[in-house]
Amino acid sequence: MQGIPISYFLILSAILFSLGVIGVVVRRNAIIIFMSIELMLNAVNLTFIAFSNFLGNVEGQIFVFMVMVVARRKWQLDWPLLWPSIECAKPCMWTK
C-alpha cells in the first residue's frame, strides 16, 4: 500500500516556503523575519524528508538533522542579540 503521494508534501512545502518569503519581504521586525527564515528552512526540510522517503534512502534525513542543528545554533546566537531590542520597546534606562 502506498502512503501519501509526494506531490502533497511538495505542495505543502511550496506553500510554507512562499509564506516565509512573504514574511521576510513584507515585515520589518527582526523576530518576524527570523521566524520567516525558520519557516523557509522547515519547508526545505519537508522537501528533503519527502524525497528521502520517496527514494528510500536516508541521506535526506541526515541532511535535515544537520540543518536543524544549524538552525538551533542560529537561534542560540541571535536571541541574545535581539533581547535588548525586545526589552527596549518601551523607554528604558540605557536609551536616555
Flag whether pLDDT at 1 surpasses 50.
no
Flag whether pLDDT at 85 surpasses 90.
no
The radius of gyration of the chain's CA atoms, rounded to the nearest angstrom, is 18
pTM above 0.85, yes or no: no
- pLDDT tens digits for range 9-61: 999 999 999 999 999 999 888 778 888 988 999 999 999 999 998 888 888 88
* 14: its cell numbers: 511550496
- 92 within domain boundaries: no
Domain assignment of residue 83, given as a range: 6-87
Identify the CATH number of the domain in which residue 12 sits. Answer: 1.10.287.3510
Q: What single letter denotes the amino acid at residue 52? A: S
Tell me which DSSP letter residue 79 carries. H
- 95 within domain boundaries: no
Mean pLDDT along residues 66-85: 73
pLDDT for the residue numbered 63: 87
